[in-house]
Amino acid sequence: MDPCPVDCEGSWSEWEECSQECTDCQSYGEVGSSTREYRIHIPAAHGGKQCPHAHGEVAEKVCNDKCCPVDCVGSWGEFGSCSSTCGNGVKARTYHITQAAMYGGKECDRCHESTHTVACNDGACPVHCDGAWSAWSHCSAECDGGDKTSWFLISSHAQNGGQECDHGAYETKKEECNTHECFSPCQGTFTMWSKCSKPCGGGQRNRTYSVRSPARGMPPIPCGYADGFVQTEACNVHECPAGYECSGNC
């Protein structure tokens, strides 16, 4: 005559949309978050099993925690005064980067403190080109060989028949770097076990070890087994069943 127990039934709602598309790492902004709510559809009754969560319980998870890309910001300054009051002079302006690109943002199209010069007080005096190679950039790879780049920066262009530089503005040269071998331990695995050589009475099965990727770098960390190593173990060691013996009229 007692009523049957009714177990609780409930489920989580779908995750809500993330609170932000990315994290403002530059301003130490908070990471995005998403929530969902547990809802009980049928409460437990008459001693039935309770749900694992309370009705209305909220779960929260981190989402879109990658840093927002920050584009490079730069601009040209004003032209300075002419280098000569007569004859042939030049005046220059400098490109300043006020915000370097970060987290995959777009790079500026000029180097920091690049110089742009123009002629002024035109006359017969020749102006020779003046330039130099910039410092090397960071290596493009940490190991296994990369390259680094230097740009030729012209601070004063040739004017009025002056001698040209040996290299063009922003001409690049590259040099190999970080040629040491990348470090990685040996990686390998066994094949599946072969079929047992006997169905009963003690047989053998084997499997072969294959090296997928040998150790690289120093110090080398070898695999646990050599490539082609065969491992053998006993199988079907149970006794074979005895045959039937007939006697009389069978």
Let me know if domain 187-235 sits in CATH 1.10.3470.
Answer: no
Domain 73-136+152-171 and domain 187-235, same fold? Reply is yes
This model's pTM is above 0.75? no
Stretches in the chain below the pLDDT threshold 50: 244-248, 250
In this predicted structure, what is the pLDDT of residue 24? 87
* pLDDT 10s digits, 124-141: 677 889 999 999 999 999
* pLDDT 10s digits, 170-210: 999 999 999 888 888 899 999 999 999 998 888 999 999 99
d(Cα 159, Cα 124) in Å, to the nearest integer? Answer: 10
What are all long-range contacts of 135-143, with beta carbons under 8 Å and residues at least 24 apart? Answer: 136/175, 139/177, 139/178, 141/178, 142/178, 142/182, 143/178, 143/180, 143/181, 143/182, 143/183, 143/217
Q: Which fold has domain 73-136+152-171?
A: TSP-1 type 1 repeat (2.20.100)
